[in-house]
Structures are given as C-alpha cells and as structure tokens.
Structure 1
C-alpha cells in the first residue's frame, strides 16, 4: 500500500514558504526605494529559471527515482534560501531565487507524477487531496505571515522563518516519501493482475473501462494550456500588484496577507469542487469562470476599500480554483494515457512562464499607472474567454460513460 501522506506534507510546506515570501517582496523592496519594474523582476524570482527547468530536467528526472529527484530539489532550494540570513541585497536575492527555480524543476513534476505513476491509485481522490494540501499550505503561509508581521512589525522576519519550512520538507522527503511503483495499462503487472487475481476481476474491469474512457475523450493540448494561463494571470498579477496598492493606500503590511488569505481560501474550496467535477462539464464551466474574471478585474483597479478587496478576492479565488483544478486533471489524464510525466513538466513550465512575465510587465506598467495594469490584464482575459469558448464548442469532447469511472 502506497503512502500518500508524505506527498500531502511535501505539497503543504513548500507553498507555505513561497506564499510568505512572494507577498513580502513587493512591500519590502518598495520601502527600500526600488523602482516598480525592478521589483517586478525580483518578484518573478524563481520563475526566471522555473520557466525552463521542468522541461530541461525532465529527461534527467526520468532516469532517477521520484524520491531522489525530490530530495535533490529540496536540498538545492534550502541552500539557496540560506542567503536570506546574511543579506537581502537585490542582486544576491535574484541570484538566490533563480537557483531555487532551477531546483524546483525537479520538485513539482515528480510530486504530481507520483500520483499518476500507478493505475491502481485512486487518482481523482488523490488529486483532490493534493490540491487541498498545497492550497492549505498557501493559506497557512498567509496566516503565519500576517501573525509574524502583526507581532514583530519587521518585514525581514518573513525571510528568516520561511527557510525553516523547507528544512522540515527535506526531512520528510528523506525519511517518509515512498517511491511509487509504476504500473499502467500496458505493464506486465496489470496484465498478470487480470489473469491471476480473479477475486478482483470487478476492479480490473473497472480499470479497463477507465482505459476505454480515456480513448473516447478528445481535447487539444491548447485547451488545458489556456486554462492554466487563465489561472496564472489573475494570481500572479494580484500577488504582485495588491501589496504595492495596499502600500500606496497606507494599509498595514499584515493586512495584505489577510486579504490574499481569503482569495486562497475560496480557491481551495473551488479546486476541491473541480477535482470531483464530472468530466462532461469540463468544456462549459471554465469559460464561464474566465468571463466572471473579466467583469471583476477592472473593479480592483478603482477600488480603495479593504473589505471590498476581500469580497473581490473571494470571487476571483473561486474562479481560479476551478481553472487550475480542471487543468491539473486534464494534464494528469494525458500523463496516464501516454505513460509519461512530460505533461506535468509542461504544466509547471507554463506556470513558470506566466508567473515570470506577469510581474515583470506589470511592474513596468505600474510605474506609469498602477490601475491601468488591471485594465490591460482585463483585455487579455477577454481574448482568453473567446478562445476558450470557441475551443469548448468546436474542439473539446468530454462525453464519456455515464458512470465516469475516471479517477
């Protein structure tokens, strides 16, 4: 029996670390007097390298065990963040985050692929738990960040506490992560299972039906790619722009973590819904979510009330959670259909690209006019909405069996 709980822990602490750091970077360096464009580059940090590292390291990753890849990754990331204890110089900071992005290329693709490696894993349930885990990690990071800033009123404290979470993860990876046994519909083990395990024949038939359902589904790769972009644009822009806007509105730094906490909370809840959603709804609901984002995003630009920000973030989180939850399931399905983890690497690289470009471009625009950044992002979401709408009616077909046994 494969242990999933170490994956749950590993998917929890890293986002907790990342969430704490990402929100404090714009506030800290804005107070240090840096230009918004430069702050955008610093905020992009890990994504400078993470844009390419999952794909470039994919072949290397396939030659070694999942556990080995995760341990190498966490060791490199932890060592890179030790720089925070000595200096937060912008140049050394960006070097540290770039090194972290390289090692991250071995982390998330292997953690995700450990779920889809074995056809006997309950993929839908494990995917739901996986999504809960990293969302809880983000929530925990925001709460811890708010608490630390409220008590100590020292922005640097975030940079000192965050690396400790990576050390905990490294210990869990070394001591508890269990290498999954790779079994797919073409493997010898599965064929022997059908022949010899007569008492479990019902389950074998169920898995066979699962295979047939996979072959019946039809969607172009661009569809989940656009869903990921629809998730990344709002999240990356808000993570960067809202801390700056809150600083200009003279909100206390700890309130930034509280506001984004509600976005992450609604995102987690909607992501659980997406993890359990029936496949036949995958081509209808995502375009609706992007349409809602188109309506909400301009309001963020003109709003100046803290409570209104919380309400807006609750709505945005509900939309982004659906978009990411659906896209993750589609990429994992592609992994299982072709018995490869390259689609997890593609997913992570797309995340890297958008989280890289968005804060950098937003920083340049924000230096001219902060609110206009939200309006430009809205226009991009409009284009995305129509592209998804066309694909959902013309190119996407999720009409599978009524029982929908796909995990």
Structure 2
C-alpha cells in the first residue's frame, strides 16, 4: 500500500501542451489532474518545476556495461543489475527495455560468448523478490552475423517479457560500419586486435553473413512473432533496406543511418528512433546522419539513451527547444516509445495511467531532476 502523493503548483507536461496544475498519485496510478497553482495541505509544492511522465527507454546497452565494465571483466551479475536499475531510476527512466545480444561467435581472439539467457533469468529473479525500482522488459538484439543465433533465441519464450527483437547485421562495409576505418578504430581499440587480426575478423564476419545471414534473419523474425514482441530494424541505410524491414513487419527503426532511410520509414509507417548522444554531440560517432537533421526534417519520432542513460532527458529538453515545444520534445521519450511497443498504460499524464512520473527544473538548458516516482513510489 502506498500513500497518496499530490504534486502541486507544477508545470505539467501533457501530450500536446504544458499547463500549470497538480497531479494526484494514488494506488499506483494517476488519480486526478487539476489546473491552477493552488497547493493543498500536505501536497508537494513543485514551485513551477516540470512534472512529466516517466521516461520510456527502448534501447540501452547500459546493463552490458555494468556486467562488463572493462574488457575481460565479468562483474557479479546481481550487483550489476541493481546498479544499472538504480542508475536508470536516477536518470528519470521508469520503463526500460534492456538490450541483450543473442547470437555469438565462440572462437577466436575477437570471440564473444552467449550470455543473454542466464542474465535474463538473474534479472527476473531480482524482479520476483522486489529488488528492482523500475519496470524492466527485454530487447533481444538478434545478431544475424553469428554462429549460434537459433539456439540462443529458442531459449526464450513469451513469459520472458521480450518486448523488442531487433535485426542486427554488423557485417563490415555496410550499414553502421560502411566506413571500415571507423570500424577498425572501434574494434581494435575495444578488443586489442592487431591489423592482421582485424582483417581476419572482417573476413570471418563476411563469411558468416554469407553462410547464415538470410536464415538467421528469417529465424529472428519468426521468434519475434512467437514471443509477441515488436520487430525493429537496425541501421537501415537505403530505401531498399527499409522495404525489406517493412516486409518483415518491422514497426520500429533503430538508428537509420541516412535521411533517405528515415524518409522511407515514414512512408512505411515505421517509427524512427535515434540516439540521444547523437543529438547532444551534434552527430553520430560512426559518421552517419545527425539526429538533429532528422528532427529538423520532421523524421524523428523517438529518442533512446543508447550508451549514456543521462542523455535521454537532456536530449528531450533540447529537442523541445529546437522545436519550440517542450511537450513535443518530451513525447519522444514518453508517449511515442510507449506507443511504439504497445504499452498503453504509461507515457502520458492522464487519469488511469501508471503513476510513473518525474519532476525536473532547468538550469539554463540542462534538466535537474527533483524526484522520480514509479507506480507512485518515489525511487529517486
């Protein structure tokens, strides 16, 4: 049981506008919304701070970063999960789709082994004991350029809260890594490969894609249907790529690398998601299309924190400034991602919605969180 909480004298970020008013949280839901600056007895006086829905994060590598904080370091998983959960809560994220890779290459110096099934089981065990502050779902990143994708995906089922399956093809020389020099710097730095080992790695990935790519992609699409998950494309570059994704039934496009691909997504009614770090930095670290360019072209629907959890709220506020509309900017991290994955119970300030709420003020153009509530319970 939780006590009612009233957040009064706030700037409420509604779906299409911001208004001064108050919000009452009761029984894990938003019970009422009232207009005006009145502060009833016992209410929290927000003093004009923004009160918005909790952020909905669809793609973050943050859990993997906690599990392996440095190459070759396997951190205790329960501690890593709890630290990840607390970090996201502290960034205003109240719903997360934890990205986990499925599809591995067990041998060689650039090897990477299966881990998702075991990690997901540990995550759900902590959830069962009430150890998690926020709402977690799974996002399985299906690496088609791998050796073990079918058996890894077979280990999951509808009971595993798999909300998203994304089709990942990291074959060098296309999509995200069209620029092999950028790929070389990334892989050699991360895995400590020599020039020769990098060349062998590239050749091996190309061979795997040729051998398994089509079959693995078809298997991932079928497994997404079995789970009841939303299918997402990843790093589509051309209109032809988008047409294939649409044919598979994709409803979400993660990080299209060109404006051509983003425009094609719009024609196919596929929601476009870009990285918040891309928006904040002013461009992609891989040299692909800038998120701000897509925002200005009205081709951006959703933001993801990707590899920096704190980027999500900051980027939404900056989008609000770019568009001259805070409600529209915040919708890219609340209502739009919730809608894209079929979560109708969150992402908006409205009676009956989950009481997932954040309070923040602005220091210049930088948001400063003043509170985070999940199901009406303050978690940060």
TM-score by length of 1: 0.25
Q: Which structure dedicates a bigger proportion of its chain to strand?
A: 2
Q: Which structure dedicates a bigger proportion of its chain to helix?
A: 1
Structure scoring higher RCO (CA < 8 A, sep ≥ 6) equals: 1
